């Protein structure tokens, strides 16, 4: 499932973008859901309960404009991909500060919009994404980027590359049910992504990057067999 937010204070522009997005989604292998917002404020109000995978964001809006909204997201550590929609090319330089995915000038050409969306979904397969509830916000994570998970009481630490750690509100057993078959318990408090295993000893697993996590002796045989199977089949 791929969720797209469209934020523009002109309803005619929203309608035109919606028509293009409906056409783009027709032959996709994943479902596409489109949320519409007529102000940055309404997006911010709804976003915690209706997270999205990408936003088409008008820059020139009344009150809180699109660039200000983007800066608020980044200040909160949210790297939601942003495609800015604007009638003025001078905003492009400012967009580097918020790491915008792309700029599209008005009137939007559907071929250019389709190309941006196709590149993004090819690189970030929507079927690999999940949304984690972390403290008071929702964070979208690519499953393939999760190295391992560690139980912390009723919550779970989710370890992703570059030493980033997300504290998920779900327990590790609940998380395991939705992570998929590439994740396996190696210890009662640890779930490891087979994709990131570098080596296995009787008591430890070395993760790519040099980090070690514990391996239960009773789970050694299962983990080792799954590890060999994963790479023998070329699933990496």
Residues 107 and 160 in one domain: no
Position 133 in a domain: no
Based on the domain organization, do 10 and 99 belong to the same domain?
yes
CATH number at residue 227: 2.40.50.1020
132 within some domain:
no
Would you state the pLDDT for residue 194? 92
Tell me which of 101, 125, 149 is where a domain ends. Answer: 125
Q: What is the DSSP string of 147-166?
A: -EEEEETTEEEEEETTTEEE
Q: How many domains does the chain have?
A: 2
Q: Are residues 47 and 116 in the same domain?
A: yes
Domain of residue 203 covers 141-232
Q: Which of 110, 135, 118 is nearest to 18 (CA)?
A: 110
Residues 9 and 83 in one domain: yes
Question: Is the model's pTM score more than 0.85?
Answer: no
Q: What angle, rounded to 10 degrees, do the helices at 11-25 and 110-123 form?
A: 60
Question: Residue 83: what pLDDT?
Answer: 95
Rounded average pLDDT per 10-residue block, the chain, 236 residues: 93 96 91 94 90 92 93 86 84 70 92 94 74 80 86 92 82 88 94 92 90 95 91 62
Residue 74 lies in a domain: yes
Question: What is the predicted pLDDT for the residue at 236?
Answer: 45
- Same domain? For 114 and 23 the reply is yes
- pLDDT, residue 71, reads 92
């Amino acid at each position: 499932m791929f969720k797209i937010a469209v934020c523009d204070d002109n309803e005619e522009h929203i309608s035109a973008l919606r028509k293009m997005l409906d056409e783009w989604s027709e032959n996709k292998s994943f479902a596409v859901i489109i949320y519409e917002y007529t102000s940055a404020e309404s997006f911010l109000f709804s976003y915690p309960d209706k997270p999205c995978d990408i936003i088409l964001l008008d820059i020139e809006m009344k009150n809180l404009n699109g660039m200000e909204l983007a800066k608020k997201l980044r200040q909160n550590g949210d790297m939601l991909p942003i495609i800015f929609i604007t009638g003025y090319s001078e905003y492009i330089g400012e967009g580097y500060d918020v790491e915008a995915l792309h700029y599209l000038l008005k009137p939007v050409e559907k071929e250019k919009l389709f190309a941006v969306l196709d590149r993004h979904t090819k690189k970030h397969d929507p079927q690999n994404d999940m949304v984690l509830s972390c403290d008071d916000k929702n964070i979208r994570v690519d499953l393939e980027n999760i190295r391992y998970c560690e139980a912390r009481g009723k919550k779970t630490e989710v370890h992703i590359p570059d030493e980033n750690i997300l504290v998920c509100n779900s327990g590790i057993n609940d998380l395991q049910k939705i992570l998929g078959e590439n994740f396996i318990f190696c210890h009662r408090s640890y779930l490891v992504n087979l994709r990131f295993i570098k080596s296995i000893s009787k008591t430890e697993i070395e993760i790519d990057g040099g980090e070690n996590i514990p391996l239960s002796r009773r789970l050694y045989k299962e983990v080792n067999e799954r590890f060999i199977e994963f790479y023998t089949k070329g699933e990496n």
